[in-house]
Chains A and B, each alone.
Chain A
Amino acid sequence: DAGVIQSPRHEVTEMGQEVTLRCKPISGHNSLFWYRQTMMRGLELLIYFNNNVPIDDSGMPEDRFSAKMPNASFSTLKIQPSEPRDSAVYFCASRARTTITGELFFGEGSRLTVL
């Protein structure tokens, strides 16, 4: 079975440029999470979707960050304009609608470097 698929795996860009990270959740999963991981702050939840609807975006750092989920099989996280402090690994995770325990399944992450 295909897991959570993220692209790109690595992105290097210059300050001020727009960055779009993509995620394809596991088929049949109805919840999707975007996390950011840094050495200083660990894993931070950015936004959570349920049935394609954003439920909680309180973790989004600022207006430069936006996320969409146009359908059940695709989500994007956009940073515009990007800044060096946005450098991090961004993870997408999904969860099945029928799971008892609610564990998350993670993608391999997108490592973003903003110069």
Chain B
Amino acid sequence: AQSVTQPDIHITVSEGASLELRCNYSYGATPYLFWYVQSPGQGLQLLLKYFSGDTLVQGIKGFEAEFKRSQSSFNLRKPSVHWSDAAEYFCAVGANTGNQFYFGTGTSLTVIP
């Protein structure tokens, strides 16, 4: 069965500290992987995506993610968190056609000064 697991429901980090949000997936075919961010009262915005090539992908707002096939993981990282990064983060896996698009349950990020 296709699924996405985000094991951390909530993470708190200090401003300026590094961040890693975990994502594990189960998918029967070659996965297309995504990270989205949702600020309060807003829709989901695409941070970055991976479908082939270099397993380390760069996204917007200074985020990056690394695809590790052996671990079925696609963890999101940022070297130095800003207060404005406080939001909900969703990992997703899917295909490029059809409705096969599966979201994780999200990780809520709090940034303390």
Contacts and interface: CB of A to CB of B under 8 A. Distances in A.
A72 B34 CA distance: 25
B101 A104 contact: yes
B101 A42 contact: no
A61 B106 CA distance: 22
B8 to A, nearest CB: 14
Contacts, number: 52
Nearest to B36: A106
Interface residues of B, number: 22
B43 A101 contact: no
Tell me the interface secondary structure of chain A in the complex: strand
Which of A56, A103, A106: most chain B CB closer than 10 A? Answer: A103
Interface residues of A, number: 23
Contacts of A108: 41-43
21 contacts: A4-B43, A33-B99, A33-B101, A42-B106, A43-B106, A45-B101, A55-B98, A56-B99, A91-B43, A101-B51, A102-B94, A102-B95, A103-B49, A104-B46, A105-B46, A106-B36, A106-B43, A106-B44, A106-B45, A108-B42, A109-B42
Interface of A: 4, 31, 33, 42-43, 45, 48, 50, 55-56, 91, 93, 99-109
